[in-house]
Each structure stands twice: as C-alpha cells, then as structure tokens.
Amino acid sequence: MSDEPVIIRDKAAMRSWSRSKRYSHGETLILALVPTMGFLHQGHLSLIQEAKKHAQLVVVSIYVNPGQFSPSEDLSTYPSDFQGDLRKLVEIGGVDAVFCPLNLYETTPSGLDLGRDFEEKAVSCVDGRGGHESWVRVERLEKGLCGKSRPIFFRGVATIVAKLFNIVEPDVAVFGKKDYQQWRIIRRMVHDLDFPINIIGSEIMRDPDGLAMSSRNVHLSAEEREKALSISQSLSKAKHNVQNGQHSCRELKKLVIQEITEAGGRIDYAEVVDQESLEPVDVIKCPVVFCVASWFGKVRLIDNIEINL
Amino acid sequence: MSDEPVIIRDKAAMRSWSRSKRYSHGETLILALVPTMGFLHQGHLSLIQEAKKHAQLVVVSIYVNPGQFSPSEDLSTYPSDFQGDLRKLVEIGGVDAVFCPLNLYETTPSGLDLGRDFEEKAVSCVDGRGGHESWVRVERLEKGLCGKSRPIFFRGVATIVAKLFNIVEPDVAVFGKKDYQQWRIIRRMVHDLDFPINIIGSEIMRDPDGLAMSSRNVHLSAEEREKALSISQSLSKAKHNVQNGQHSCRELKKLVIQEITEAGGRIDYAEVVDQESLEPVDVIKCPVVFCVASWFGKVRLIDNIEINL
C-alpha cells in the first residue's frame, strides 16, 4: 500500500530522510511535523489533516518525552499502542514518515567524570548524572497555569520540541489548542529563537458529549467520565455569559469552579487569561482564553475555550 | 573584486542567501559560520582560516549581543570598527557573506499587554517588558568559571548562538578556545538540542609576547598590558610544572595567583578543571584546562591553557 508511512527510529536517518525529500527533485517541498506522544485519537488525526493543508510532506513523531514528566507524574502509566497508532496513520493516509525514536536524550561521551557533586544534585528527571543538561526556557509563559503545578513541564516540552525541530527540520509544525499554553510557548520559542518554522494551532476536538479528546481519557471510569463533562459544559456556559454581558472574571471563574466541584472534580486551576501573554485578566476587554485543569479520580484533565469579544 | 563578501543585515535575507547557496547547483555545499562581536583581530581571522578548511562557504557574523552583558558590564564601551572589520575580511579573502544585523531581539507583536507585573520584574537585560523571553540554558556548564561572576552571560551566549544557527543554518561553526567555557557550552548545547552542526574549537592566538588576543586588549594601557603578560607566563609555568611532576592543583593555582597578583592583577578566578565537564580537579589525572580571569585596571581578561598528561 503506497500510503504506508516509512518508520524511522534513528535521529540521523530522520534528518537525512527529511533533507532528501525536501530538496530532492530540483524543487523544495514543504514538510510539516506533527509531534505526538502516541496513543493517537481523533484529536491527533485532526492535527494531521491540518498539516496536510500546509505541506506536501507530513511527518508524525511518536515519543513519550520523559523530560516533561516529574518523578511523581504518570510517565510509567502513560498509555501507548504503537501498532494501533500505525494502523490509524495508514487508514487516514497522507503520512509520509513516522519518527519513533527509542530515546532522544543521549548520555554524555564516555570518560566524562562529572564528579561527586552531580550525583547528589540531579538537575532533571531525564538523567541526573552526566546526561542531558541543555534546556529551553520560555521564562514568562512557562510560569502560570499548568506551570504552577508542573514546574518542569514546559521546560521539557520546549526542549523536546526544539530537538525534534532540529532533527526533522520541518517548515511547518502543528500543535493542538487543547494544550493552549504549550502552543503559545512553542510559538514564542520559535519567534524568540528564530526557528524557520511556521507554527499552526489546531482547534480542540471533542467527543459528541463535549469532552475534549485526550489520551488520558482512557484512564477515566465511566462515572468519572460523566462527571468530567462538567468542564466543557461549564466553560461553554461561561462563554455564553460573557456574550450576554458578564465580563467579570471573578464571577465567571466562580461559575466554572462551582460546577466542576459540584460534579466531583478537584480544581487545579481555573483562569481567564490574555490569549497571547497568558496573563490573568480581571475584566474581559481583550481576546481571552478560559483555561481549566481539574482532577477526576487519578486523572488530571485540561480544557479551554477561547472567548473573543 | 570577487573576494568581497556580500553584506546582509536582515534575518530573512540571511536565511534565504544561505539556503540558495547551500542547495543551488544540484549539489549541497558545506557552509561554515564564524560568529563574532566584531573589532576583528588575528584571533578572529584564524577562526575564519579554520572555517575555510571545513567548508566551501564561509559566513562571518558581526553582532554585539546585548543578551550576554549585564547592566553593569561594558556593552556600551565594547569596541567596534565595522569598516576596519570589512577591510580585514576582504584582505584575507574567502569570506562569502557578512551577517551584521542591527538587532536580533524583536519586541513582541503589537497589542500585547503584558500587565503591570512585567514592568516591575525585568527578566533580561535585553528587554524587560514584553520582548524576548526564551533562553537556552546549559545548566551545569554555565555555572562555574566565568558563570560565577557573570551569571547571565552564558544564557545570553547560548541563546544568541542558537538564534544565529537558526538564521544562518550552517553545517559547521568555529569558536575560539580562548573562550573555553563558551566553546564547551556551545558543543554541549548542539549535542543536547540536536543542532545539525559540527562545532570546531580553534586554538588561542597570541601576540608575540604571549598575550592572548582579545578585542578588549585595546582598552589596556601600555603599563597594564605589560602586567597582563603575567597571565600567559604563569600559565605556561604551571603547565611546565605539571610536565615535571607537579600534579597538585592547589600548588599550581598558588603559583598562578601569586604571579598575577604580584604583577598587579586582580584575580576573578584561577581554576584547574576537567576539559569536558569543566568540574574543578584537585589532582591532575585526566586532560585538564587551567582557566584564569583577571582584572588589569578596568579590563577583565581571560586566558587558559590545556594540559594533557
């Protein structure tokens, strides 16, 4: 089947594939990258559809990035289904390559003795001793929202995306707006560090009942899933209220927090922020996004809704 | 004159020049970048000669990077002589382009209101309000040596080099070993973030009397210059002593500190460190580098000597 993507597991092979395809036929083809952590669902597939609109070549990366999980988080239980992912990619077609490296963080060159000091002060959850030590920080945008409860998360995200950009060398990369802060951070990093890449934000995909699609939804019990609908439902109500004149973020947050809490969710944050700077807003006067993170049982879900006056 | 380099001041023009030259004639040419802050001397020219050995195309960038100077440092007095630099580049020949942007840090898109909070907490010396906020940190290597007295220095260096790499897209980049820590940090960044670039370290160039060449030497009075020779002279003695069996770094540092201090220098640091990790060494058992920073009058000079047993 011609639509079967080539599977690449090695950095050097990925880069040379990319270069040979982009510059092969005397013309330059546009290559789009869709970075994922696998366990693909309709949300990911919509990113791939978006990528196809902007590029002649599409690469999907599948890599569960240890650099963005803290030791207490769910790296070991993050769901995966590589064969299922491949099947889905073949089905939707138009994916030219799947980049699925085993490990993107190499240890140091042999013979490097870092001394006792480094054994004691591990600087990253990736490798505390002699390994990876370069990190991209987007200092303001990484601080709020998910950054508060996950302090190393966006350092890990920005860094792995920089690595993927340098390996795959895409012209375009597509990120889902479900991870709104991530999308803004990547855009900011690309702007500030002059990556020659156009970053596309793709709209949130939802199940018919409104739940934002997420690989983590698989961990929800039927009951938890039902309760979790309170997130998207309360966000929709908040947007509706804004459109009817309620511009006080205190009132809007009260509504959302109350509905989610009453449904049985445990709020991590519920914030109305500027769409660009992600700075909290008191009264809605500019384009904002209402972002929520909430626990249902052992599952932390995030969702958001853009509100343009 | 055919050897006259093209002068490029704009990011987009630089990138498209680079791409068109690298991929133009049905073959792929190797491009080398030599990043400088201008006020070129023989040390820089030796980097360019080194670059020519590895590449068919050579780009020299000239940009005094505000991101690596703290407010109390010598950004405003850093010497410059653009016409003189160009003359030297034409003279040595083989430089294809000079990239000399006016400003590589753009401010934020208009209309972005970052709120009062950011006016008070400036996060960088580049632009404390609404501007650049993404930084590359090489967390361990940036800490010691020059990093102690210049805490934001290597953040600024790594970041501007990442920007230049993304704009110029070289295959090779040449750095002087005089800035030994910088060279190691860039190598580490390139390795950790998967930049597709080969980093070459070029040997220190010295005046006939032994003083390591530096743009800052122009600020030394004749008397200070004479005193500053104590750096290279004491480092040479230390290396000689190692070769004659003195492996105690305490003794070696004592010698260097004493000679420089007696000559009238004010030591910032004098450290014997592992060549890879830049971790301090007590007894020399592996390849080390003896690094010194010292003030003579208002001028801070650095120098180093590699010692391979």
**Residue B248 reports pLDDT greater than 80:** yes
Nearest to B139 among A28, A123, A189 (CB): A123
Tell me the pLDDT tens digit for each residue of A216-258.
Answer: 999 999 999 999 999 999 999 999 999 999 999 999 999 999 9
Instruction: Flag if B158 and A134 touch (Cβ within 8 Å).
Output: yes
Tell me the pLDDT tens digit for each residue of A76-128.
Answer: 889 999 999 999 999 999 999 999 998 998 754 433 333 333 332 323 345 44
Q: Using 50, 70 and 90 to split pLDDT, how confident is the model at B175?
A: very high
Q: Is A169 left (phi over 0), alpha (psi -120 to 50) or beta?
A: left
**Residue B183 reports pLDDT greater than 60:** yes
For residues A124-133, give the mean pLDDT: 60
Q: What is the pLDDT of residue A263?
A: 98
CA distance B274 to B256: 18
| Burial (CB count within 10 angstroms: exposed 0-12, middle 13-18, buried 19+), residue A237 | middle
Tell me the pLDDT tens digit for each residue of B24-55.
Answer: 767 889 999 999 999 999 999 999 999 999 99
CA distance A132 to A135: 8
Mean residue pLDDT of chain A comes to 91
Instruction: Flag if B123 and A134 touch (Cβ within 8 Å).
Output: no
CB contact at 8 A, A39 and A80: yes
**Residue B278 reports pLDDT greater than 90:** yes
Instruction: Flag if A15 and B136 touch (Cβ within 8 Å).
Output: no
Q: What is the pLDDT of residue A23?
A: 85
CB contact at 8 A, A5 and A96: yes
Nearest to B15 among A114, A158, A196 (CB): A196
A163 touches chain B (CB under 8 A): yes
Q: Which DSSP string corresponds to A32-91? A: EEEEE-SS--HHHHHHHHHHHHH-SEEEEEE---GGG--TTSSTTT----HHHHHHHHHH
B50 is written with which tokens?
Answer: 């080194």
Q: Is B67 left (phi over 0), alpha (psi -120 to 50) or beta?
A: alpha
State whether residue A93 is helix, strand or coil: coil
Residue with tokens 């138009």: A94
Q: What is the pLDDT of residue B113?
A: 33
Residue A74, CA distances (Å) to A71, A176, A177, A299, B219 in order: 8, 21, 22, 9, 56
For residues A16-42, give the mean pLDDT: 92
Q: What is the pLDDT of residue B107?
A: 55
**Residue A40 reports pLDDT greater than 60:** yes
Within 8 A of A123 by CB-CB distance, chain B residues are: 139-140
- Residues A6-202, CATH architecture: 3-Layer(aba) Sandwich (3.40)
B237 touches chain A (CB under 8 A): no
Nearest to A115 among B104, B192, B277 (CB): B277
Per-window interface: B 245-274 vs A, CB < 8 A: 274
DSSP strands (E only) in chain B? 6-8, 31-36, 57-62, 97-99, 134-138, 172-176, 198-202, 266-274, 288-296, 299-307
**Of residues B148, B136, B137, B135, the one with CA closest to residue B273:** B148
State whether residue B197 is helix, strand or coil: coil
Residue B204 is given by DSSP the state: P
State whether residue A160 is helix, strand or coil: helix
Instruction: Flag if B140 and A114 touch (Cβ within 8 Å).
Output: yes
Residue with tokens 């209101």: B113
A111 touches chain B (CB under 8 A): yes
B113 touches chain A (CB under 8 A): yes
Within 8 A of B309 by CB-CB distance, chain A residues are: none
B157 touches chain A (CB under 8 A): no
Percent of chain B, pLDDT > 90?
84
Q: Using 50, 70 and 90 to split pLDDT, how confident is the model at B126?
A: low
Going from N- to C-terminal start, the domains of chain A cover 6-202, 215-307
**Residue B112 reports pLDDT greater than 50:** no
Instruction: Give the residue on B whose Cα is nearest the Cα of A154.
Output: B134
Tell me what ipTM this predicted complex has: 0.92
Q: Using 50, 70 and 90 to split pLDDT, how confident is the model at B187?
A: very high
Dihedral of CA atoms A36, A42, A48, A52 in degrees, nearest 10, equals 180
**Residue A2 reports pLDDT greater than 60:** no
Nearest to A192 among B111, B133, B192 (CB): B133
For residue A25, what are the contacts with CB-CB under 8 A and spacing of at least 6? none
A277 touches chain B (CB under 8 A): yes
Q: What is the pLDDT of residue B127?
A: 45
Q: How many residue pairs bridge chain A and chain B with CB atoms within 8 Å of each other? A: 131
Dihedral of CA atoms B101, B105, B109, B115 in degrees, nearest 10, equals -160
CATH topology of domain A215-307: Pantoate--beta-alanine Ligase; Chain: A,domain 2 (3.30.1300)
Q: Which residues pair with A137 in a beta bridge?
A: B135
Q: What is the pLDDT of residue A72?
A: 86
CB contact at 8 A, A304 and A201: no
A190 is written with which tokens?
Answer: 């690309």
Within 8 A of B271 by CB-CB distance, chain A residues are: none
Instruction: Flag if A162 and B193 touch (Cβ within 8 Å).
Output: yes
Within 8 A of A173 by CB-CB distance, chain B residues are: none
Tell me the pLDDT tens digit for each residue of B41-92.
Answer: 999 999 999 999 999 999 999 999 999 998 888 898 899 999 999 999 999 9
**Residue B221 reports pLDDT greater than 60:** yes
Q: Which DSSP string corresponds to B266-298? A: EEEEEEEEETTT--B-SB--S-EEEEEEEEETT
B12 touches chain A (CB under 8 A): no
Q: What is the pLDDT of residue B287?
A: 96
Residue A54 annotated as catalytic: no
Asked if A6-202 and A215-307 have one fold, the answer is no
For residue B16, what are the contacts with CB-CB under 8 A and spacing of at least 6? none
B20 Cα to chain A: minimum distance (Å):
11
Instruction: Flag if B141 and A133 touch (Cβ within 8 Å).
Output: yes
| Burial (CB count within 10 angstroms: exposed 0-12, middle 13-18, buried 19+), residue B134 | buried
Q: Using 50, 70 and 90 to split pLDDT, how confident is the model at A129?
A: very low
Active-site residue, from A25, A44, A54, A219: A44
CA distance A126 to A102: 14
CB atoms within 10 A of CB B138: 24
- CATH annotation of B215-304: 3.30.1300.10
For residues A19-44, give the mean pLDDT: 92
For residues A169-178, give the mean pLDDT: 98
